[in-house]
A and B are shown apart, each in its own frame.
Chain A
Amino acid sequence: MGRFHRHDDGTEHSHEHGDQPDHQHGDHSGYTTGSQRIEVLEAIFAENDVRAEVNRKAFESNGIRALNLMSSPGSGKTTILAATLEELAGDIAVGVVEGDIATDLDAAKLGGRGAQISLLNTNSGFGGECHLDAPMVNRALAGLELTTLDLVIVENVGNLVCPAEFDIGEHAKAMVYSVTEGEDKPLKYPVMFRSVDLVLINKIDLVPHLDADVDTYIAHVRQVNPTATILAVSARTGEGMSAWFDWLRTFAQNR
């Protein structure tokens, strides 16, 4: 693996040293004779971001608001979504992009609730992509009749790391964080927790059975994200869900 070292300007770097014991740190000129250095200075997600902008324009030209819903596996995203589609049916026209590595189990769970569902399996890459990116969502939009919709919810792949990095053209990001996951998750996965506008703390009906304290969960979210809306809910009992529905209605109408 590469070797790491620090420069005077506070940066560090690493590279393979191979069979070059004389190689001088800090002087990379003449690294490969005859080669030409090209300044690039391009964000690694630039291509994704261009495609995300295409999605965003597609949403906006149809008067649609788009929400990127993320979480770890098993947090209750799909259960929350099922209750949400039932609540909004006949009121707000919802389309769901359902990201799943291999199955259509979630898409089947969400069917029959008045929403359009576009399933997006991600298992074409190296054993299944761990996130949705903008080009994938773009393909999934072909499965929705955009002109008829008010709100698109993209249910991302269950994962607390990768989805946070990819703009998919959404107008807001939300995540589900269940009390069974442990109170330390915001500190362990700060990038996702910092990226969201809303955190739903789910499964609060289980609090009496756990060594859990919702206030500590909220405090840990606040530590990495001082501005997000935080709502404590139970998708199973319905407790707190009306605040989430209100948030979503306001979001959907804010176009």
Chain B
Amino acid sequence: MHELSLCQAIAGVVQTHAAGRRVDVVRVQVGALRQVVPESLSFCWTLVRDQADMPGAELELEFVTAEVECRGCGRQSQIASRFSVCCPRCDSADVAVLRGEEFLVTSIEVTEDVTEDVTEDVR
């Protein structure tokens, strides 16, 4: 259910930038601290892209490892667990998240000249 909403939001961003051109590839960056299940997002995308009139658009996901800076010990660390943002060195919860909360469309690939007709609705 969550991933479906996310895909609809992705489609909204893509549509604005595609401006009517055929969309071939959509690249999305996802931080490790986002509650995104990749398999679910990929599956939901196959439902949403048809509705959003971009049936050939392939979704590429790029994952960003989470990284925190600890205000306690001053060290920067990568976070292995998605359940906790505590400093893995000193266990302090007083950390600044440096990376891992990304959720954005980085780029798309479009084709200007649409030669193949989209199948007309037969009513």
Contacts and interface: CB of A to CB of B under 8 A. Distances in A.
Bind each other: yes
Interface of A: 1-2, 4, 10-16, 28, 31-32, 34-48, 125-127, 129-131, 133, 161-162, 164-165, 187-191, 194, 222-226
Interface in B73-103: 78, 82-86, 93-94, 103
A37 B107 contact: yes
B38 A191 contact: no
Contacts of B43: 1
A225 B26 CA distance: 34
Greatest chain A CB density within 10 A among B5, B59, B84 is at B5
Q: Is chain A's binding surface mostly helix, strand, loop or mixed? A: mixed
Greatest chain B CB density within 10 A among A35, A129, A130, A162 is at A35
Nearest to B2: A162
Given A31-B25, A32-B25, A130-B5, A43 B103 contact: yes
Given A35-B24, A187-B84, A191-B33, A126 B105 contact: no
A10 B112 contact: no
Interface residues of B, number: 50
A45 B9 contact: yes
A161 B2 contact: yes
B46 to A, nearest CB: 9
B53 interface: no
B1 A126 contact: yes
B103 to A, nearest CB: 5
Contacts of A35: 24-25, 109-111
21 contacts: A2-B42, A10-B64, A13-B62, A14-B42, A14-B60, A14-B61, A16-B58, A35-B25, A38-B17, A38-B110, A40-B14, A40-B17, A41-B106, A42-B104, A45-B9, A126-B1, A130-B2, A161-B2, A161-B35, A190-B82, A190-B85
A28 B26 CA distance: 12
Contact of B105 (A40, A187, A224, A225): A40
Given A11-B62, A14-B60, A194-B85, 10 more contacts: A4-B63, A14-B38, A15-B61, A34-B111, A40-B104, A41-B104, A47-B13, A162-B5, A191-B35, A224-B84
A28 B107 CA distance: 12
Contact of A40 (B24, B39, B107): B107
B28 interface: yes
B10 interface: yes
Given A190-B85, A226-B93, A36 B110 contact: yes
B4 interface: yes
B6 to A, nearest CB: 7
A191 B13 contact: no
Nearest to B46: A16
A241 B2 CA distance: 33
A83 B43 CA distance: 43
B112 to A, nearest CB: 7
B71 to A, nearest CB: 9
B83 to A, nearest CB: 5
Given A32-B111, A38-B108, A44 B42 contact: no
